[in-house]
Structure formats: C-alpha cells, structure tokens
Amino acid sequence: MTVSRALRDPDKVSAKTLEKIKAVVDRLGYVPDPAASALAAGKTNVIGVIVPSVTNNVFSDVMRGIYEAAEGSKWQIQLGNSRYSPLEEESLVRTFLSQKPAGLILSGLDQSEETSKLLMGADCRIVQIMECGPDPFDMMIGFSHVDASAAATRHLLDAGYERPGYIAARLDPRSQRRLAGFKAAAEKAGVFDPARIVTTPRASTVTLGCELVADLLSKAPQTDAILCNNDDLALGALFECQRRGLRIPEDIGLCGFNDLEMMAAANPPVTSVRTFRLAMGREALRMLTGALAGIEPETPVVDLGYEVIARQSTARVG
C-alpha cells in the first residue's frame, strides 16, 4: 500500500521510505499495471480526443498542441477519428466512455442528440474545441467562424473588391458557419450574389480548389475576389488563377482561411485568416487537466479569436 502511495503521490510518504521504494522499483524494473489501477480506482488517466480528421492540417496542429501539453504528464491521450460523421462520433464517445476516461476533448458544437445524452451522463470533464458557442457541455475553447469569415469578407471589400465569391468543400458545420459569415457580410454591403458561391460535398484538396475556381469563374466571370473556405482551396485557387493568366491581386483577390504556414511563402503571399490551432489544443488540454486538478477555468468558454493577415494577394492597386 505504501508503495502504491509512493508511486502515485510521493508527498504522502516519508522521504526515506520513498528512497527505499525508488531503489527497489529501479532494481526490479517494476512498472505499475494501468489496467489493475483502472479497475481498482474506477477511473483512468486517459483523455479521449475526438477529431473529424487526422489528415487535415488544422486538426493535426490542434493534436500537436494537445500532445505537447500532455507530454511528460500522467495523462494518456487517446485519439479517435470521427471522419466528419456524427454517427462515428457517437460510437467513439461510447467506446471512450466505457474506458472511464478522466476527460474528453470533442470537436465542435454539433453533437448528435444521442451523443449529447451520453455526454450529459458522463462522469468526466469535457472540453469542446474549434468553436465558441453558448451552451458548453462543460468547457469550450475556440473562436467564432461566422465572425472570422465576415471579417475576411470585409477585408476584401475594404481592399476595393466589389464582387466577392466564395468557394467551399465538405460543408461540415464550421464550413457552413464560415459561409454564413461571408453571406451576412456580403449582404450587409449589398454585394451578395448566390451565383458567386460554389460548394461541393467532396473533401477539400488543392486540386479541388482549382476546380471550384474554374466553376466559379465560368458561372460568374465578373468575380473579382475569392474567399476560400480553407487554405488548401486557396492554394488551388492561386494555381488556377495563375494558369488562367489572371493577375493576383490586380485582376482577382484571394483570401484563405486558417493561415497555414505556406500562405506566407506563396507567390504572391496569400491573405488568410489566422487561427490559433496549436494554442487551442494546448489550452484545451490545460483547461481539462486543470479542472481535473480542481482548478476551474475563469470562464467555461474561452474565445481565442482570429486575425486577418493581409498579404499581397488582396493588395489591390487602384
């Protein structure tokens, strides 16, 4: 028993017994069995993380933040990939909960009703990431996608573009809100035209960015700026515009979303909405482990904001 205590909470054991125990543990190469611990204690050090994609750069940055923050702690990250499917998410939540996790990190606000029920009844702390919204299950960290894309839209208008279009792939809830932000800002400025919106349910790729721009320009050749739902599409848009001999930013303005590292390196550098993905992952884990240690966050919902990074691709002259 004292050994068990020494290993879990060294402060509860006198210095010299601790020493002795450590020596023996080293000599024997003893490693505690997490399964036995989990069974006896009725809980684990597992933190379940559910993301909709493991390949999307956005989520890999978030994951990195989570892994970095968990590094060296007792917390075990367990990753689940819901592949943008609420049903798979539900099944993952079920699996995770059966493991009696200490905490759960989920993406977005749009859990299915069944998932919500599971989460309400769950005996663990929960952090929702990627977005900000009114009714967290427990805690939440993210930003407003509507506001961010509205701000990007205004930036295009401020730069002198008059007929902005929007391209988007895989309309997951966050993409839809970004589209809604664009629509709202464009309508408010009186420049909204549904013909300048091109979307597809397909997963977003650079190639798809090319195709969507081709579509957009054939439907609405007068388009003079494109807000892209993400940076992969923006990169494709850049290539496609260049292939068509369109000058950026003179003939057409280009704005991405997320500000992946490549946007600054592109030729010309591409304007994008910076989001704080690494910080989001890191802080999500910190909030969670903090709460598990009894330190509640100041507010349950943390808004990390966004930043429109203006670059040459929207620096219209004249």
Partner DNA sequence: TTGACAAATGTTAGCGCTATCATTTTCAAT
Partner DNA sequence: ATTGAAAATGATAGCGCTAACATTTGTCAA
Q: What are the residues binding a copy of itself (CB under 8 A)?
A: 31-36, 38-39, 44, 54-55, 57, 60-61, 63-64, 67, 76-79, 81, 94-95, 97-100, 205-207, 209-210, 232, 235-236, 238-240, 242-243, 261-262, 264-267
- Residue 274, beta-bridge partner list: 258, 307
What is the closest distance, in whole angstroms, from the C-beta atom of residue 28 to DNA in the complex? 11
4 binds DNA (CB under 7 A): yes
Single residue of 25, 37, 64, 116 touching DNA by CB under 7 A: 37
Note whether 39 binds DNA by CB under 7 A: yes
What the block records as the tokens of 318 is: 């004249």
Query: Between 95 and 267, whose beta carbon lies closer to DNA?
Result: 95
Q: How far is CA 122 from CA 100, 130, 138, 301, in A?
A: 9, 21, 11, 19
**Would you say the C-alpha torsion 9, 14, 19, 25 has a positive or negative sign?**
negative
- In what helix (H) or strand (E) does residue 161 lie, and over which residues does it extend? none
Asked if 271 and 255 count as a contact pair (C-beta separation under 8 A), the reply is yes
Work out how close the CB of 51 gets to a copy of itself at its nearest, in angstroms, rounded to a whole number: 11
Whichever of 3 and 304 has its CB closer to DNA, that residue is: 3
By a kind-dependent CB cut-off of 5 to 8 A, residue 14 interacts, out of DNA, a copy of itself, none, with DNA
Q: Which of 2, 85, 95, 267 binds DNA (CB under 7 A)?
A: 2
Closest by CA to 99, choosing from 123, 126, 64, 70, is 123
Cα–Cα distance for residue pair 209/42, rounded to 1 Å = 49
We find the least distance from the C-beta atom of residue 39 to DNA, in angstroms, to be 4
285 binds, among DNA, a copy of itself, none (CB under 5 to 8 A by kind): none
φ, ψ of residue 197 in degrees (nearest 5)? -115, 125
Q: Is 1 in the site for DNA (CB under 7 A)?
A: yes
Q: Which is nearer to a copy of itself, 20 or 239 (CB)?
A: 239
Tokens of 292: 């598990």
- Put the strands of the sheet holding 164-169 in their side by side order: 197-200, 164-169, 225-228, 253-258, 271-274, 307-309
Shortest approach of DNA to residue 36 CB, angstroms? 3
Distance (Å, whole) CA 144 – CA 55: 23
The residue range among 11-19, 84-92, 149-157, 274-282 that interacts with DNA, by the rule CB under 7 A, is 11-19
**Is the CB of 13 or the CB of 237 nearer to DNA?**
13
Residue 272 contacts which entry, a copy of itself, DNA, none (Cβ below 5-8 A, type-dependent): none
Q: Rounded to the nearest whole angstrom, what is the least distance from the CB of residue 266 to a copy of itself in the complex?
A: 6
Cβ-based nearer residue to a copy of itself, 57 or 116: 57
Nearest Cα to 304, choosing from 184, 145, 66, 105? 145
Rounded Cα–Cα distance for residues 130 and 80 (Å)? 16
CB of 94 to a copy of itself, least distance (A): 7
Residue 261 binds: one of a copy of itself, DNA, none (C-beta under 5 to 8 A by kind)? a copy of itself
Cβ atoms of 53 and 83 closer than 8 Å:
yes
For the chain, helix, strand, coil in percent to 5 are: 45, 20, 35
* C-alpha torsion sign, points 264, 265, 269, 273: negative
Residue ranges binding DNA (CB under 7 A):
1-2, 4-5, 7-8, 12-14, 16-17, 30, 32-33, 36-37, 39-42
